[in-house]
Amino acid sequence: MESDLRARAIRDAQAALRSVASALRDDFTDAGLLATQLAIYGDALRLILDAPAALRRWTERLPVEAIHAAVLALTDESSRWATPGPRRGAALDDALAAVVRRRDEMESVITAIRRICIARHIPLDDVASLGPFETALATKDRLLADVLTRRELVAMLGVRAANGTTWATSFPEASIDGASDSDSDRGVDNAWKDAGRRTASPSNEVVTRYITRGVMSRYVEGVAAANAAFAEELASSIEGLKESGETVALVPRRWMRASGRSGADAFEVPPRRAAAATAAETTRLETTEVLLGTLVPLDAEARLVVSATNITLDVYPGAMALASVTFGETTVTRAASSGEWCVVIPRPTAPVLLRVLGADGDEFSEPLTFSTE
């Protein structure tokens, strides 16, 4: 059932991506249209789909002022939502179901905006309306949680439930009669709570998020420790993605080594370029972006941009502050004006240490190796 739901969501998202990519214009004055385009892009990101190149290039040209206007329009729309008083049985309310689905679309807009800002090194504070918008939605979520359980929420979302419900942390797990919802109906964001007593394999969505971003490591690795069959499946998935050149975050790489399933591995990067045959080749700088994912136990994510001569490390902190970032022999103790922590070093020939220290004393430390083979 879950795989069917995800397959339907992927088909819908891919059709929407093709439609929006074919009609893109550099006219950013229609805030409502822009919000729809951002929602479609955000759906693709949440489903871990590749967006068309035309759409990615369009996001690079998108003015911050236009994003701000789109968020303001959504804020105004959400302020007019009508939610019933605290009563159960609200899942029968079609109007409320429409609000729930629209709320999830707005989560996709937020996802898209955050990805655009990170990719373009735009501080989230530059989108002045984003913070108040997220606060307003959190208030709405609490009101919805007064009348809906998570099971009812998932039912209302329909196909959109395949996107995940990490925004619905305030929704109760208990059903109307007080019984607990089954594990299969719970949001993946709370699944880690059962890691100590569950041995059933996590969903494909959870596994993919763990491998590509390192999130929910406590849950996934806890199940792997208790379920040998799942651990072998997880290791095979990680190896398969690495061999196909897909993104594999640092956290699952560390788990592979700690569990004895692999030794030290290297990130594939562009080779050092020999003398080019043409002037155009001489001026072309080949780069590779390497997503490192979350830096557990810190509230931060990181990426590398590797060229033939340099490696740029970008660390994006979450709610918890960072104290320092060390990459190789270079240490920085202050974030850039855009909010991320950035270190640039010459391309190394030997492993280099990545060490990130949180303001609360937590630390992430990992040696990184780069290969051109």
Confidence bin at 344 (pLDDT 50/70/90): very high
**Is the model's pLDDT at 279 over the cut of 60?**
no
The pLDDT, as a whole number, for residue 101 is 94
Q: Please classify residue 268 by burial: count the beta carbons closer than 10 Å to its beta carbon, then call 0-12 exposed, 13-18 middle and 19+ buried.
A: middle
Q: Give residue-wise pLDDT tens across range 133-148.
A: 988 888 888 888 877 8
pTM: 0.50
Q: Which residue has the higher pLDDT, 286 or 343?
A: 343
Confidence bin at 363 (pLDDT 50/70/90): very high
Return the minimum-mean-pLDDT range out of 70-74, 96-100, 207-211: 207-211
**Is the model's pLDDT at 232 over the cut of 80?**
yes
Question: Across residues 314-325, what is the average pLDDT?
Answer: 86
- Strand order of the sheet with strand 352-358? 330-332, 322-327, 352-358, 363-368
**Is the model's pLDDT at 88 over the cut of 80?**
no
The pLDDT, as a whole number, for residue 5 is 82
302, 311 Cβ separation under 8 angstroms? no
Q: What is the CA radius of gyration of the chain?
A: 22
- C-alpha span between 108 and 162 (Å, rounded): 12
**Is the model's pLDDT at 198 over the cut of 90?**
no
The pLDDT, as a whole number, for residue 149 is 82
- C-alpha span between 186 and 31 (Å, rounded): 34
Domains of the chain as residue ranges with CATH: 2-186 (no CATH), 194-264 (no CATH), 279-371 (2.60.40)
Q: What percent of the chain has pLDDT over 70?
A: 81
Closest residue by Cα to residue 83 from 146, 32, 175:
146
**Is the model's pLDDT at 191 over the cut of 50?**
no
54, 21 Cβ separation under 8 angstroms? yes
Residues 275, 281, 284, 285, CA torsion sign: negative
The pLDDT, as a whole number, for residue 70 is 96
